Amino acid sequence: MDNMIRVAVAVIQLRDRILIAKRPQHLHKGGYWEFPGGKQEEGEHAEHALIRECFEELAIIPVKYSPLIQIEHHYPEKSVILDVWTVTDYLGVPQGIEGQPLLWCPIKDLEDYQFPEANLAIIEAIQAEMIEV
């Protein structure tokens, strides 16, 4: 489908925690928790979108990252392909550059937060693949 929106999503891991952010109220899925990220631009490589979104939303630069999962999801109002990456090292200290609240959530507690529907599969992948250290 050519009206799919491709989204780069960063699962930023520090030991047994993942960084989550609260989506600004005025956006699609506003008020839900999310993994930082955003829309891939026309002609942009997926990795570049990941790095750019981390910088724009958190002021960090990922240096160690790998693909985790790709999810196609159809919301009533739009269809997305979430291109999800695990980020295990980065430069800088994450800050909510767009005023979004940030939280380092223990991996085992992720299901206690309200995420968009498509994120269920991401949380399952995190809990299945990430070894708690």
- Find the part of the chain contacting Mg ion (CB under 5 A) among 37-45, 69-77, 78-86, 103-111: 37-45
53 annotated to bind ligand: no
Token pair 């960084």 in the structure block, residue: 19
Contact between 38 and Mg ion per CB under 5 A: yes
Binding residues vs ligand 8DG (CB under 6 A) = 7, 9, 27-29, 34-35, 37-39, 78, 80, 82, 116, 118-119
3-state helix, strand and coil shares in percent for the chain, rounded to the nearest 5: 25, 40, 40
Q: Establish whether 38 is an annotated binding residue.
A: no
Smaller CB distance to ligand 8DG: residue 99 or 133? Answer: 99
Both tokens of residue 112?
């206690």
Q: Which tokens sit at 45?
A: 């490589």
Any known ligand binding at 67? no
